[in-house]
Amino acid sequence: MLKVLFVLKSVEYIDPMGIMLLSSLAKQAGHHTYLHVLSDGEMVDTLERVKPDVVAFSAKTGEHKYYLEANRAVKAFDKGIVTIEEVELDDGIWEVEGYGPDGHEIEMKVEAASGNIIKLERDD
């Protein structure tokens, strides 16, 4: 069971449906999920409280600088935390890209309906 921390810059007038869906799928698979909104306060406080295994960022065009800063805070807190930086739904498969605990890029494909991981690759 993993602790997954989802991070977004701010909550706007539209609910973060992507995060809500991914959180629901993770919970169905037995994982614990949490949310940190960057505009609500210090990320380090949330990292200390949650102690996540995975941190996933939800960004829109132009917000990358906030997430790069947040990613630096995560890695400064604990280099062993996996960070997810891109998620895309393609024909019922979630395509996930990020960085593993050793800093290498990872790619994962997950069946949207079941949450089963069908591919996991690491770039050395």
pLDDT of 122: 80
pLDDT at 53: 92
Helix axes 43-50, 64-77, angle to 10 degrees: 40
Q: Please say whether the beta carbons of 40 and 8 come within 8 A.
A: no
Running along the chain, 124 residues long, what does each successive block of 10 average in pLDDT? 89 75 87 91 91 85 82 88 83 85 83 82 77
Domains of the chain: 3-122 (3.40.50)
